[in-house]
């Protein structure tokens, strides 16, 4: 049995907010013994002392988390400038956390360190890896985590966020007493856990279709043999990032599309992107509307629910949604969570964050999936039970 | 916590909320403007493509038929009581074609048929199709019910004479037979892919028989056609000719304008 207790508060005093959240979670836990916690903390509200307060409130548990662009939970809904806390207890599941740092220079070692720390305290192979990391290097981290974990482990999570979309301000990841702006934190779950996940975007593909003919990490150099910035500039104003019109990418030989924001031109005719896309992939333009985005997130929840293993029922949900969706949905952002709650059991505890990059398989999948991708502008649903 | 403390916290919370909303609004405006730019540019592309498709369609279908397809009609078949069908064929084309390279053959045929297309446009006659070296055109399909059917016959006669002139001007290696008949047809679109505008009916069959029983360099016309041209064109009675499936019918050669 998995129990997730949730607390959330947007008190202007961050310490009062975390104390509120802790109190709410404790009340829900009852006699259950917590094993681990995830803290989503608004970037402006975050201070390492918040993590310490959670650890003091639940002695001996692992606390991982990240800064976020906004937070959501089943207790307070969608909020900006809040802290959302999810505390996990289980009588038959094992949970353990780990952290690696320096992903911008050595993602393999960072992923190895994080997984090794967590696995050292597990007696069984993990089934789920919840990951929080940093957006620019997230794709390298996913690949490195994949190399460290058994093939059937589901990897789901997000990249730490902040309120501003652009710029070079850091985001933070933390695990217990460790904090980094270029780290990877993982929470591994082992034992008889039932899982499903699904993603939704809501962007519509339109305009000409090109083929990526030259690319590197963090950059699309050429599309159809011409400088990528030239291709994009025929349709997009490349003086700023294309948050509202990300590029749709389809890897050669696959049916699934995923999104990549063109952050800017690189000064050499290329387009800077978070992560990488392979040469040979197809690229197209996109547009969307709030209604389409909300329909897509609803559909993701429905697909995750439909894919949940027969005979089990979800006992907790984590949502990772993109900070850009928050801006595009504006005052309707809370509907992502509200609609999801309407589709799930009313008593189901939910926690989540708005991030700068999401991590999940692109199709509906259970814990057999091995195709977790680094995603942009996507709503990710993770349902858990045992 | 005092009431004053609580009030100050609420004020701070609201100020923070306003700050977030302002930032959201600014970002949303930027995204909205970028989206509008993209959609405008894609719409411009679509308009260019739409125009190109329309022009391509006009190359293979009459304008009024394109308009009806654009309006949503999918099955188009109309009866026309009095149209004029003109059929041509190049004499001994197959045997002479064997002596030409494919490239030269297509080039010569293309030059000739382009002249015929121009003549159709000049005379207001509708080209229907070419089948190998055969060329088929129809006059009167777009005539209003009040229009003079004889004018359609005159247009077809002028086209036939223009075609012979074009053949001479081009110093073509081929001679041509022409047949013209007037009567009812059904015209419409068949198929949903690679569809074509075509005409069907006994009038088409008779025009074809007139062409096959014509002579090289001659325009062979039926009685209704000759009657309509009387007094304006030089006609030469040919006598009764056995037209396959129709029996013996009086026919004329059209020799020129008066």
What tens-digit pLDDT sequence spans chain B (258 residues)? 677 788 888 898 899 989 888 888 888 888 888 899 999 999 999 999 989 988 888 888 888 888 888 888 878 899 999 999 999 999 988 877 777 888 888 888 899 999 999 999 999 999 999 998 999 999 999 877 677 889 999 999 999 999 999 998 877 778 999 999 999 999 998 776 777 899 999 999 999 999 999 999 999 999 999 999 999 999 999 999 999 888 999 999 999 999
What is the distance between the alpha carbons of residues B21 and B31, in angstroms, rounded to a whole number? 15
For chain B, say whether A307 makes contact (Cβ under 8 Å): no
Query: Is pLDDT larger for residue A69 or for residue A365?
Result: A69
pLDDT for the residue numbered B1 = 65
What is the distance between the alpha carbons of residues B1 and B7, in angstroms, rounded to a whole number? 10
Which residues, 6+ apart, have CB-to-CB distance to A20 below 8 Å?
A7, A9, A11
Distance from CA of A332 to the nearest CA of B (A): 12
What is the distance between the alpha carbons of residues A12 and A26, in angstroms, rounded to a whole number? 21
pLDDT for the residue numbered A367 = 43
What is the distance between the alpha carbons of residues A22 and A33, in angstroms, rounded to a whole number? 14
**Interchain pair B42, A240: CB under 8 A:** no
CA atoms within 13 A on the CB side of B187: 25
Q: What's the average model confidence in pLDDT over A329-340?
A: 94
DSSP labels for B69-116? HHTT----EEEEEEEEEEEEEETTHHHHHTTS-HHHHHHHHHHHHHHH
**What are the tokens at A255?**
């049916």
Name which of A81, A163, A327 is nearest B31 (Cβ-Cβ). A327
Distance from CA of B45 to the nearest CA of A (A): 8
Residue A20 has pLDDT above 50, yes or no: yes
Q: Where are the alpha helices (DSSP H) in B86-222?
A: 93-97, 102-123, 149-169, 202-212
Rg (CA), chain A: 20
**What are the tokens at B189?**
């679109």
**What are the tokens at A331?**
């005052």
What is the distance between the alpha carbons of residues A119 and A95, in angstroms, rounded to a whole number? 9
Which residues, 6+ apart, have CB-to-CB distance to B55 below 8 Å?
none
Name the pairing type of β-strands B176-190 and B219-221: parallel
The proportion of chain A whose per-residue pLDDT surpasses 90, expressed as a percent, equals 89
Name the pairing type of β-strands A316-322 and A379-385: antiparallel
What is the distance between the alpha carbons of residues A227 and A206, in angstroms, rounded to a whole number? 20
User: Please, what is the end-to-end C-alpha distance for chain A in angstroms?
Assistant: 5
Residue A365 has pLDDT above 70, yes or no: no
Residue A281 has pLDDT above 70, yes or no: yes
Between CA A301 and CA A308, with CA A306 as vertex, the angle to 5 degrees is 95
Query: H/E element holding A21?
Result: helix A14-29
Chain A, chain B: beta-carbon pairs less than 8 Å apart = 64
Mutate to test the interface with A, among B7, B22, B31 (most CBs of A within 10 A): B31
pLDDT for the residue numbered A303 = 93
pLDDT for the residue numbered B4 = 79
**A127 close to A190: Cβ distance less than 8 angstroms:** yes
Residue A138 has pLDDT above 90, yes or no: yes
**Interchain pair B31, A243: CB under 8 A:** yes
- Smallest CA–CA distance from B27 into chain A, residue: A327
**A274 close to A166: Cβ distance less than 8 angstroms:** no
Mutate to test the interface with B, among A83, A237, A322, A326 (most CBs of B within 10 A): A237
Parse chain A into domains and list their residue ranges. Answer: 2-200+292-385, 204-287
Q: For A352, list phi and psi in degrees, rounded to 5.
A: -175, 175
Name which of A11, A165, A287 is nearest B39 (Cβ-Cβ). A287
Q: Which residues pair with A223 in a beta bridge?
A: A212, A226
Residues A85-136 have pLDDT tens digits of 999 999 999 999 999 999 999 999 999 999 999 999 999 999 999 999 999 9
What is the distance between the alpha carbons of residues A224 and A212, in angstroms, rounded to a whole number? 6
**B33 close to A245: Cβ distance less than 8 angstroms:** no
Q: Residues 327 to 366 of A: which have CB under 8 A from any B CB? A: 327-328, 330
Mutate to test the interface with A, among B23, B35, B40, B41 (most CBs of A within 10 A): B35
**Interchain pair A12, B13: CB under 8 A:** yes
Instruction: Please classify residue A386 by burial: count the beta carbons closer than 10 Å to its beta carbon, then call 0-12 exposed, 13-18 middle and 19+ buried.
Output: buried
Name the pairing type of β-strands B126-131 and B134-139: antiparallel
For chain B, say whether A10 makes contact (Cβ under 8 Å): yes
Name the pairing type of β-strands A83-90 and A34-42: antiparallel
**Interchain pair B20, A163: CB under 8 A:** yes
**Interchain pair B9, A245: CB under 8 A:** no
Q: Where do we find the tokens 């003919």?
A: A213
Residue A321, classed as helix, strand or coil, is strand
**A96 close to A116: Cβ distance less than 8 angstroms:** no
What is the distance between the alpha carbons of residues A53 and A56, in angstroms, rounded to a whole number? 5
What band does A370 get if pLDDT is binned at 50, 70 and 90?
A: low
CA atoms within 13 A on the CB side of A115: 23
DSSP labels for A243-290? TTSPEEEE-TT----EEE---EE-SSS-EE-SS---TT-EEEEEE--H
Name the pairing type of β-strands A126-133 and A183-190: antiparallel
**Interchain pair A285, B42: CB under 8 A:** yes
What band does A369 get if pLDDT is binned at 50, 70 and 90?
A: low
For chain B, say whether A164 makes contact (Cβ under 8 Å): yes
Q: What's the average model confidence in pLDDT over A242-250?
A: 94
Residues in chain B whose Cβ is within 8 Å of chain A: 9, 12-13, 16-17, 20, 23-25, 27-28, 30-35, 37-39, 41-42, 45
């Amino acid at each position: 049995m998995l129990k997730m207790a949730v607390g959330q508060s947007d008190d202007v005093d961050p310490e009062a907010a975390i104390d509120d959240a802790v109190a709410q979670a404790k009340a829900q836990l009852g006699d259950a013994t917590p094993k681990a916690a995830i803290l989503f903390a608004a970037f402006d509200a975050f201070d390492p002392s918040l993590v310490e307060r959670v650890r003091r409130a639940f002695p001996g548990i692992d606390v991982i988390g990240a800064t976020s662009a906004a937070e959501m939970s089943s207790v307070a809904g969608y909020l900006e400038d809040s802290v959302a806390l999810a505390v996990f207890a289980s009588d038959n599941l094992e949970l353990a956390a780990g952290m690696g740092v320096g992903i911008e220079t050595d993602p393999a070692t960072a992923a190895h360190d994080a997984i090794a720390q967590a696995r050292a305290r597990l007696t069984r192979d993990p089934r789920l890896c919840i990951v929080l990391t940093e957006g620019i290097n997230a794709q390298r981290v996913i690949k490195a985590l994949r190399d460290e974990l058994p093939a059937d482990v589901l990897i789901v999570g997000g990249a730490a966020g902040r309120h501003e979309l652009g710029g070079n301000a850091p985001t933070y990841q933390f695990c217990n007493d460790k904090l980094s702006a270029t780290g990877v934190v993982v929470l591994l779950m082992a034992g008889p856990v039932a899982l499903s996940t699904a993603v939704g975007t809501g962007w519509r593909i339109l305009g000409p279709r090109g083929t990526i003919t030259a690319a590197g990490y963090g950059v699309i150099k050429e599309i159809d043999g011409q400088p990528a910035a030239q291709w994009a500039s025929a349709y997009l104003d490349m003086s700023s990032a294309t948050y509202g019109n990300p590029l749709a990418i389809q890897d050669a030989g696959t049916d699934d599309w995923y999104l990549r924001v063109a952050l800017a031109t690189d000064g050499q005719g290329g387009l800077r992107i978070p992560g990488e896309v392979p040469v040979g992939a197809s690229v197209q333009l996109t547009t969307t509307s709030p209604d389409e985005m909300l329909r897509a997130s609803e559909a993701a929840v429905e697909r995750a629910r439909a894919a949940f293993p027969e005979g089990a029922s979800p006992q907790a949900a984590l949502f990772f949604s993109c900070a850009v969706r928050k801006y595009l949905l504006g005052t309707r952002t809370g509907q992502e969570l509200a609609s999801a709650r309407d589709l799930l059991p009313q008593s189901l505890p939910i926690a989540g964050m708005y991030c700068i990059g999401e991590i999940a398989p692109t199709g509906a999948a259970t814990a057999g999936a091995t195709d977790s991708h680094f995603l942009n502008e996507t709503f990710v649903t993770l349902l858990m039970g045992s | 916590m005092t009431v004053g403390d609580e009030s100050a916290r609420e004020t701070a919370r609201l100020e923070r909320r306003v700050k977030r909303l302002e930032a959201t609004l600014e970002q949303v405006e930027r995204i909205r403007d970028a989206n509008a730019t993209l959609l405008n540019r894609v719409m411009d592309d679509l308009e260019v493509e739409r125009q190109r498709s329309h022009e391509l369609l006009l190359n293979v279908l009459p304008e009024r038929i394109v308009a009806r397809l654009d309006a949503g009609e999918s099955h188009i078949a109309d009866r026309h009581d009095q149209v004029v069908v003109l059929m041509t064929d190049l004499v001994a084309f197959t045997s002479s074609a064997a002596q030409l390279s494919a490239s030269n053959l297509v080039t010569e045929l293309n030059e000739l048929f382009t002249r015929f297309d121009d003549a159709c446009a000049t005379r207001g006659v509708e080209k229907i199709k070419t089948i190998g070296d055969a060329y088929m055109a129809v006059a009167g399909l777009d005539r209003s019910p009040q229009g003079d059917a004889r004018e359609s016959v005159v247009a077809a006669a002028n086209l036939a004479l223009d075609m012979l002139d074009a053949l001479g001007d081009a110093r073509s290696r081929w001679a041509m037979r022409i047949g013209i008949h007037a009567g009812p047809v059904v015209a419409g679109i068949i198929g949903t892919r690679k569809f074509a505008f075509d005409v069907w009916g006994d009038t088409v069959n008779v025009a074809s028989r007139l062409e096959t029983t014509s002579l090289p360099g001659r325009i062979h016309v039926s009685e209704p056609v000759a009657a309509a041209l009387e007094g304006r064109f030089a006609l030469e009675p040919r006598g009764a000719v056995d037209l396959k499936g129709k029996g013996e019918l009086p026919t004329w050669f059209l020799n020129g304008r008066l």
